[in-house]
Each structure stands twice: as C-alpha cells, then as structure tokens.
Structure 1
Amino acid sequence: MHSYRYTLERGSKKLVCPACGKKTFVPFIDNLNNEKLPGEYGRCDREVNCSYFKKPNYGTMAQVKKEENSLYGQPKPYQHHKKCAKTSACYIPIEVLEQSQQGYNVNRFTLYLNNLFGADITDDLIKHYHIGTSGSRWPGATVFWWMDITGKVRAGQVKQFDITGHTVKSATGKSHTTWIHSILQYTHEQKQENLPAWLTDYLQQGGNYVSCLFGEHLLKENTVKPVALVEAPATAIVASVYMPEFIWLATGSLSYLSVERATALKGRKVVLFPDLSQNGNAYAKWEHVAKKLSDFMFIQVSDLLEKNATEEERRQGLDLRDFLTRYRFSSFNTGAENFLKISINNKIFHVKSLITVSCPGSYTKGLQIPTFELEKGGYCDVIVDEQGEFYTGELTDSIKEMWGNGFKIGRVGATNALLRVYEA
C-alpha cells in the first residue's frame, strides 16, 4: 500500500483559516520532510459555514521518488514508520472504555438526559450506547465510544456539554471536543512516561481513527429494523427515545459520511437526517453521498427539516435533536408495555412512537404538530403550543387552510388536546 505524500496534519491543534478567519484550519503536511505546506493548503473544520478546502497535487510516495525535482529540491529519504495495516485497524482496549463507565453524577450530558427522560431511560441509554465520562481535560465531559459491528472499540470522542445539552465553546469559538487517544497521549507525555504499546500502534495506524459509525454495534441486535443516521452522537441518542422505530447511528461529522464508513449498513433500509445549514450545503452533501451508498443499501434523505425550517434556524445550523426536545417527553410514553392512550369520538387508540415534528413559523403563531404512529396502524396529529403543552384554543383561518379542518377536541392521556386520527 502506497502512503500519500500530502496528508492533513493529525492532532487537535488548529490554525487560522485563510477564508473565514476562525482558528479551525487543518494544514497539509509534506511527508517528505514532515513540514507544513504554504498556508493556503488545508481544510477548514467549519464544513457548513465556511467549507474552505484547498488540496495540493496528490501523489503516492512511489511517484514522488520518480520525480527529478520537488518543491524542496532533491527528495529526502522517506522514513516509513511501522503502522497497522489500514485493512487491519488498531483498536482501543475494552478496559479503557470500562474505566470511563462512572462519574455520571457529574457528567453534564447524562444529567441533561436525566432531565429530559428520567433516571430509568437515562440508565438504559448509558448501557445501550456505552456512554462514558472523562474529567481529564474538561470537568464533566462525556465520552462517545465508536464501536464497530463486531463490538471492537474504534475511537472515543470527548465532548463537554453545558446544562442545556449544547457543546461548550471557548472564548475563541472553538468547540470543547477532542479524542480520548489525544488525552491519553498528552497525559503520559506530561508524566514523561512511555506510551502503552496499544496507544503507540493506535497513533501510528494508517487511515482515519473513526472508520465506523457511532452506534454501529447496535446493528447486530436487530437485523431487520430500519436505520436512521444523523451527524452528532448526542442527536442519535436523544432521537432513539423519541423515535424508537429506528436504530439510531451517527457519523460524527458532516464529512464523515462515506462508503468506507458505512459498509456495515449493507442491505439495510436507511434514512439520513442531515443538519440544517444556511445555504442547504449539509443536505446537498449528504444527498450526493447517498447516491453512492444506494449501490448497497436502500437509502433516502429526509427533507423534513429542510422544507420547514425558518431562516434563523438555518443560520443556527439546528439539527433534529433541537426540534424533538421542544416537546416535553413526560407527556409521551412510547414504551412497548405502556402505550400512550389517545381518545376521540368515543374511540381509544394507543401511540407506538413519534414519527415527525413540524417546524413553527410566524404563520402558525408558534403552534406545531407532532405526528404519532399508532399501535395498530394509522397515525395521529396533535397540536401543541410553544411550551410543548397540548393546545385546545381556536385556530386562525390561515392555519385551518394550511392544516385542514379535521382537528377536534380529544384526550391525550388525561389531557384535552386538539387532534385528528387517521385510522389504518
């Protein structure tokens, strides 16, 4: 296997982007001499809001050796370090994951989940997705473990959240996000200790550390259930409670959706839920990749957010989690053994799961419609207000024209609400 001459610099250090001026720029390295290329060559991590990416002319090291001249005169001898073969990736020992399975009383993300769903559901999510805690870099930070379909630990993303469930950012706007291998490497080097053998191999391996999908290990639990794919692990975890009819996975980044990382989805039914972006870039990029993925899976790209979002929501780059959590989950119990009861016109129906949520606009006066799948088929639309409470007031003529006149007063659990039911 040939190594490429120019590769993006590894590590968490970033430079100032020549396009947007943010400290989110990853430069290219010339592997002949391990030096950075001129400042315009590299990629900005702000993939949606900036998307600057200038590549040098690519070539393999074998091709470089044949060149008579190079940017730096005669090519220097290329030292090929020992690496794990890209087809045989290096993994993180399961013991490292297990050491993170504690500290949930200070883990800000699990505390956020507890506020949303309560202790029992939060405990299930922690076990289901192997959520961990890391306080080495930031207090109360969360570890999202990437486990492949065989159950091997491929990577660990460390992220610090605030009490509202949003990623903390520094004064310069940089996200408090890193990787567990970077933290462990720094810790050992600060103590002037030798790196563990597994970490040395892991840091030297070829390819990208994140070569699978977050939550991929869940695919073996159910080989028939459709899969939903989002960008952020936090969104996948939260959405799995609201919409349990899917197995929820995440890519970790807009650009991390690729044929290579999605091989475990072969033959599956998959729905992509891209984040919002001001110019629709996020949707367009995933739609483009979906065409390649359609060669080995049944795939569609949801335009639910893209069709309904406001300009401000696009500017903020909101994702599915931002919309789902507008609703108080305590009002909706989608557990298999205790279905939410809906009654209208002396008929009783039981909710199976949440399907979609409409986006509010000025024309709706803040009202929204969550749509629920019913246990025995069909679905139900319910109107809620800006606070997520069930709505029983009057509808304007413009809303009636848009949503129809089929809404009637019924009951959701023990609460009155405007709703309409479509029976199977």
Structure 2
Amino acid sequence: MYKNYKYVLEKYSGSKSRFNCPNCKRKEFTRYKNIETNEYLPYEYGICNRMIKCGYKKYPSQKINSNLEEVNHNHLEIIEYLDKKILYKFENSNLKNPLFIFLKLYFDEIKVQQIFELYQVKTEKYYENYLTVFPQLDQDFNLRALKKMRYNSQTGKRNKSFFQWYNPNKNNLKQCLFGLHILNEPIFLESKIVIVESEKTAILGMLYFENYLFLATGGMMNLTLERLEPLQGKEIILMPDLSPINAKKSAFDYWKNKAVRIAKEISCSISISTLLEEYSSDFQKENQYDLGDFIIENLINSKT
C-alpha cells in the first residue's frame, strides 16, 4: 500500500521544476511541495539529483524518511497520456539515427532495426542533426513520455549538453519504465527482467544478451515503487551504474536499499547484480561505467 505524505518532491515538468542546489549550485535541485496547498517548502528542503557527486538532501521533518520520493497516489486522481499519433510524425526510417548508425557497426543491421522497433525508438530531424527519441509506453501501450537525446554516430556517446522532453500542455503526465510495453509480448512473458539506468544500455543489453528483457529507469533516482508496480510476480535483476570510489553515496547502495523497501510492497523477486562492482577497475568506477560501456568495450576489443 502507498503511504500518505503531506510533502512530496515536485515531479519533473521541464527546467522550471529544477533549481540551483544550495550545495553544488548546479540546476539539479528538486524541491518539496505541500501536496494540499501546492506551495513550495522553504528553499533548503529538497534533494540534489547529483546524488553521487553532490549528495545534498534535506527532508521536511526528521520523522519523514526517503520514501518521500514516492508519489502519493491518493492525490493523483487522473493520469494523462500523450497522443500516440505523434509517434507517426517522426522520420520514416532510423537509417540517419546516430545511435542506430553506431550500433550497426557492431551488430547486424536487421537485428538493430528489430530492437528499435520493439522499443518503438524513433528518429527526429533537429536542424542539421538527428535525435534519438525514446518513448515511454506503459504495459497498456499508453504513451507516457518522449525523451529526446543526441548521440555521436562513431562513439555512441551521448551529448550531455543536449536533452529534451516533449512537454505538451498536460499537468498529470506520469513516467514509466522505458520498455514496459514489451512486458506483454508472448516471447518475454517468462523472461527475467534486468533494470538498468540508461535507455541506450537497455537496447545494448537486448542486442548482446539472450533470454532477458531489459528495461530502463532513465536515471538513478527513478527506481521507485510506482514504476516497478507493474512488475509484480516477475523476477527482477537490478544493475545500476558504477559510482566513484569516494562518492558520498553509490548508485549500488541506493538501489540496494530501494530494492529492500520495494520488495516489501509488491510481490516480486528483486536482486541486485554485483557483477560490475566486482569486475570493474578504479578508472571504470571513477568514470561511472554502466553495463553498456562494458558491452561496447568488449565489442571494440573483439574487433581488434
């Protein structure tokens, strides 16, 4: 059951919903709001999204713990969805998609196309460039969100200075796990589910491994009870990004603690993989490698 809270973290609705962190001064600060009045609490109350590199957090009360990041369902009477017709307004082909171009350097082009179609990944022309569009479709195939990113077609690296959400005039959009709509595909009904942070890593996982269904949270902080609730009865393996050795809080520990709390609320088997933690170098930890980075390194080495 979901708990009732008077204060919740403001849900993301574009740059206007993020503020400069009191500690690191980066515009990555999520503030608490009073759910009854919709007013912000004093500025110091909130959480910096740079949990690993900054770690600032201040809760409204000593009696309220980190479960506050979960959404109070009793106050969300309506969930709005995006019009799925927008999915047909993107490019007809992914051949100019930089991420697609990169992946076909190492995988069969037909297989890459099949995975793109499975996840409904789209391509959008943006001035002289092409963007990769990751849709969030839920288990009922409702379109929850559209996330746009720019990739380098030769390295597969994301341009971290560019990031867009498709934000129509809707107030009750709710995100879900990337790839959640695949849950009902007959071939994946009995599959173990691997949850990673990055959408690109989910796609790489599906291309590289067999017999698993890869889903993505879209970020370390997005592993929530609400997002995992549709996975009741499933066997789930968590694989967060690596964190620097001297990080104030590691993604591994954060997800491990979250898994314990989530497992108490929904009927599923949740474990966290120690593979990356055990077999990574200090350099890989410092640069916050994820499973996708290891896959790419292995593919590059196999070609040399």
Q: Do they superpose with TM above 0.5? A: yes
Q: Aligned pair 1:274/2:240, yes or no?
A: yes
For the Cα contact (< 8 Å) 1:131–1:142, is it kept in 2? yes
1:277 aligned partner, one-letter code: S
Give CA deviations for 1:225-244 in whole Å, capped at 9, x if unaligned. Answer: 11111111110011101112
For the Cα contact (< 8 Å) 2:14–2:165, is it kept in 1? no
User: Does the residue aligned with 2:60 lie in a helix, a strand or coil?
Assistant: coil
Match of 1:48 in 2: 52
* Cα distance in 2 between the residues matched to 1:138 and 1:31: 43
For the Cα contact (< 8 Å) 1:12–1:178, is it kept in 2? no
Larger Rg: 1
Offset, 1:323? 0.3
Offset, 1:262? 0.7
User: Does the residue aligned with 1:213 lie in a helix, a strand or coil?
Assistant: coil
Q: Report the number of matched residues.
A: 282
Q: Aligned pair 1:294/2:263, yes or no?
A: yes
User: Does the residue aligned with 1:264 lie in a helix, a strand or coil?
Assistant: helix
Given candidates 321, 324, 347, the residue that maps to 2:292 is 321
Q: Aligned pair 1:89/2:53, yes or no?
A: no
* Cα distance in 1 between the residues matched to 2:157 and 2:93: 19
2:258 aligned partner, one-letter code: V
Q: 1:328-367 maps to which residues of 2 (within 5 A)?
A: 328=299
Structure 2 vs 1, CA of residues 232 and 250 (structure 1 numbering), >3 Å: closer, same or farther? same
* Cα distance in 2 between the residues matched to 1:111 and 1:275: 24
* Cα distance in 1 between the residues matched to 2:147 and 2:128: 13
1:177 aligned partner, one-letter code: F
Percent of pairs with identical residues:
28
Q: Aligned pair 1:250/2:236, yes or no?
A: no
* Cα distance in 1 between the residues matched to 2:204 and 2:127: 25
Q: Aligned pair 1:128/2:118, yes or no?
A: yes
Match of 1:400 in 2: none
Structure 2 vs 1, CA of residues 30 and 138 (structure 1 numbering), >3 Å: closer, same or farther? farther
2:14 aligned partner, one-letter code: G
Given candidates 171, 195, 199, the residue that maps to 1:204 is 171
TM-score normalized with structure 2 length: 0.81
For the Cα contact (< 8 Å) 1:7–1:31, is it kept in 2? no
Structure 2 vs 1, CA of residues 119 and 6 (structure 1 numbering), >3 Å: closer, same or farther? closer
* Cα distance in 2 between the residues matched to 1:141 and 1:226: 30
* Cα distance in 1 between the residues matched to 2:34 and 2:303: 58
For the Cα contact (< 8 Å) 2:149–2:163, is it kept in 1? yes
For the Cα contact (< 8 Å) 1:138–1:160, is it kept in 2? no
For the Cα contact (< 8 Å) 1:101–1:131, is it kept in 2? no
User: Does the residue aligned with 1:326 lie in a helix, a strand or coil?
Assistant: helix
Q: Aligned pair 1:20/2:20, yes or no?
A: no
* Cα distance in 1 between the residues matched to 2:8 and 2:41: 9
TM-score normalized with structure 1 length: 0.60
1:121 aligned partner, one-letter code: K
Higher RCO (Cα < 8 Å, 6 or more apart):
2
Q: 1:114-263 maps to which residues of 2 (within 5 A)?
A: 114-136=104-126, 139-163=129-153, 164-170=155-161, 176-181=162-167, 199-200=168-169, 203-205=170-172, 209-210=174-175, 212-221=176-185, 222-263=188-229
* Cα distance in 2 between the residues matched to 1:154 and 1:122: 24
Offset, 1:292? 2.7
Unaligned runs of 5+ in 1: 59-84, 171-175, 182-198, 329-385, 391-424
Match of 1:388 in 2: 302
* Cα distance in 2 between the residues matched to 1:111 and 1:304: 29
Offset, 1:38? 4.6
Offset, 1:49? 1.7
Across the aligned residues of Structure 1 and Structure 2, the Cα RMSD in angstroms comes to 3.0
Q: 1:296-315 maps to which residues of 2 (within 5 A)?
A: 296-315=267-286
* Cα distance in 2 between the residues matched to 1:291 and 1:137: 46
Given candidates 242, 260, 264, the residue that maps to 2:230 is 264
